[in-house]
Amino acid sequence: MTLTFDVHGPTLTGALARLASIGFSEAGVCRRLGLEDLDDLQLRAIPIYRQERLQERDALAAAIELLLLQGAVPEAELDQLFARPDQEALADAGILQQADGSVRALASLYPVGRALVFSDHAWPQMNQTGYATVPRDQVMGIGTDSRWLARATLRRPVGSALDLCCGSGVHALLAAAHAGQATAVDCNPRAARCSAFNAKAAGLANLETLQGDLYAPLGDRRFGLITCNPPFVPAPAQEVGYRDGGRSGEEIQRRVVAGLPLHLAEGGTAQLVTELGERDGEPLEDRLRTWLDGAPMAIHILRLRTIPAQAYAIGHGDGDAYADFLDSVGRWAANLRAQGYRRMVSVLLTFQWSREPWTRVDQAHPPVRDAGPELEALLAAERLARDPGLEDRLRAGRVVRTGPVALLESRSLGAPAPATAQARLAGLAMPIEHPLTAMERDLLCCLDGPAATADLLAAAAKAGVADRMVLDALAALVRKGLVGPA
């Protein structure tokens, strides 16, 4: 039995506040279960959590068991967890089901950033006789991709925010905290109800949910922030509604990108988390430009993870019998071959209007906590590097490293081959690895404090290095966000 997500149910602000007060948050649950990231929560580890982490029964243990591990708790523990009015509100909302002296939840509650988000259980097969596969109308729980997008979203105040392919409504819920009005859209009626249910539960008056196909329910409305985690998996057959994006994986995401010029407000930002199949010799940016059909937009591609096509096929193969599993892997691999995909790349895409459209590609570690300000700083560095006045400003002023920098160098000992170097700003939530030229490395190393560019040029001239090389290297470091005007 699943939850209908009755949108006429009560607000659950009391129950949600109680959960927050006992540490039912990303950090609190991780601490309790011994996880580095809530994304590491695994079905197969449930017995270990129970035996090693939840033996001491307190309110947090009961909340984790009930709302994340899909387990049952005795009524006495529920009394410890929630006061009677909150229990009644949760029961009226259809969340709690009591039987034989114990209680189960018909949905899970996922901590994401500052929000608590109801959605269908992460493991629908568990305790649901007859669910051999994921049901068609399943609302996606909070996945790795959901967390990446939530953590990387730019949290500027905006008038209006749109969350396309909203599922549980997680991104709309988070946007409602910094947008005048948030709008969530999903084609799955259960997902649309789940998003509205979450808004009601959290007592949010500025979140509307619409059911429909992408931008269709929106007319010509424009938004200051558009977030989207579309179905993107290139699947041999359309099996999981929230996951599969047709045989190419692009059926929905292509239309999302193509619609941006009609729905992104001036000065606004659109952010997508997705996967793209990569073909040899075809840069991903070419595909995105084709989808944008000439619209003057800046595109930032942040590559977060790359999986070879074969490993991707194996990861998606299924079947209980080994022969069925191998058949399934064969079908997935054949589809990826037919598409010409050599690798699947997880990317975070950012689009902004720009008179002079540019494309930038970076390689980052997936965000482990809120990384919006870091992405904001990177986009600002790109704009600064493109400013025609930058060179004069650099020549006349002083430069400094923008923060503590971690430098990684490799050289073959005893060989004359030059060293290669990479640098990243230390301590970031989403560190970006920047390859460095030898000149960039040398400049970065000598900038222990603010330095006048004129002094750097004079020292370089003594060593026979031309101004042009130094200025170009400085501009490259500015663009990488490693150095800025002091």
Residue 252 interacts with ligand SAM (CB under 6 A): yes or no: yes
Residue nearest to ligand SAM as judged by C-beta position? 167
Near ligand SAM by CB under 6 A: residue from 25, 198, 229, 346: 229
Binding mask 140-159 for ligand SAM (x = CB under 6 A): x-xx--x--x----------
Distances (CA, A) of 185 to 2, 196, 207, 263, 326: 21, 10, 11, 13, 37
- 241 is an interface residue for ligand SAM by CB under 6 A: yes
Is residue 367 within the footprint of ligand SAM (CB under 6 A)? no
Count CA within 13 A, CB hemisphere, residue 57: 11
Q: Pattern of binders to ligand SAM over 83-122, x per CB under 6 A?
A: ----------------------------------------
393 C-beta neighbours (distance < 10 Å), count: 14
Q: Which amino acid, one-letter code, is at 112?
A: V
Does residue 39 bind ligand SAM (CB under 6 A)? no
Asked whether position 185 contacts ligand SAM by CB under 6 A, the answer is yes
Q: Categorise residue 325: left if φ over 0, alpha if ψ from -120 to 50, beta otherwise.
A: alpha
Per CB under 6 A, 224 contacts ligand SAM: no
Judged by CB under 6 A, the residue of 7, 187, 384, 445 near ligand SAM is 187
| 352 membership: H or E segment, kind and range | strand 343-353
The answer to whether 139 and 191 have CB atoms below 8 angstroms apart is yes
Q: Does 72 bind ligand SAM (CB under 6 A)?
A: no
Q: Which stretch binds ligand SAM (CB under 6 A): 3-11, 98-106, 226-234, 375-383?
A: 226-234
Q: Distance between CA 374 and CA 253 in Å, rounded? A: 25
Q: Does 167 bind ligand SAM (CB under 6 A)?
A: yes
The 3-state DSSP composition of the chain as helix, strand, coil percent (nearest 5) reads: 40, 25, 35
Residue 260 sits in the site that holds ligand SAM (CB under 6 A): no
Give the one residue of 191, 288, 302, 483 binding ligand SAM; rule: CB under 6 A: 191
Segment contacting ligand SAM by CB under 6 A, of 166-174, 358-366, 397-405, 467-475:
166-174
Please, which residue, 187 or 345, has the CB nearer to ligand SAM? 187
Helices (H), 264-355: 284-292, 309-316, 322-339
Of the candidate spans 13-21, 123-131, 135-143, 281-289, the one that interacts with ligand SAM by CB under 6 A turns out to be 135-143
Distance CA 287, CA 249 (A): 13
| Smaller CB separation from ligand SAM, 75 or 213 | 213
Residue 379 as a binder of ligand SAM (CB under 6 A): the answer is no
Assess 166 for contact with ligand SAM (CB under 6 A): yes
User: Which of 170, 333, 347, 432 is close enough to bind ligand SAM by CB under 6 A?
Assistant: 170
Q: Does 351 contact ligand SAM by CB under 6 A?
A: no
* Contact between 24 and ligand SAM per CB under 6 A: no
Among 188, 253, 346, 453, the residue binding ligand SAM under the rule CB under 6 A is 188
Alpha helices in 210-304 (DSSP H): 251-263, 284-292
**Site size for ligand SAM, by CB under 6 A?**
24
Rounded CA-CA distance 153/346 in Å is 16
Give the bridge partners for 308, in sequence order. Answer: 343
What residue type is assigned to position 214 of the chain?
A: L
Under the binding rule (CB under 6 A), the answer on residue 136 touching ligand SAM is no
| Residue 370 Cβ vs ligand SAM, minimum distance, rounded to whole Å | 16
Q: Any idea which residue has 């939850």 for tokens? A: 3
The smaller minimum CB distance to ligand SAM, of residues 184 and 399, is found at: 184
Asked if 164 and 221 count as a contact pair (C-beta separation under 8 A), the reply is no
Kindly indicate which of the ranges 15-23, 139-147, 368-376, 463-471 contains the residues binding ligand SAM, using the contact rule CB under 6 A.
139-147
- Of 162-170, 368-376, 426-434, 460-468, the window that binds ligand SAM (rule: CB under 6 A) is 162-170
What's the gap between Cα 123 and its chain centre? 21
Answer yes or no: are the C-beta atoms of 485 and 394 closer than 8 Å: yes
Q: Does 194 bind ligand SAM (CB under 6 A)?
A: no
Please state the separation of Cα 288 from the chain's center in Å. 19
Q: Which residue has the tokens 């005007």?
A: 485
Please identify which residue in the block is written with the tokens 């041999």. 236
**468 C-beta neighbours (distance < 10 Å), count:** 8
User: How many angstroms separate the CA atoms of 106 and 73, rounded?
Assistant: 13
Neighbours of 261 (CB within 10 A): 17
Interaction site with ligand SAM (CB under 6 A):
140, 142-143, 146, 149, 165-168, 170-171, 185-188, 191, 213-214, 229-231, 241-242, 252
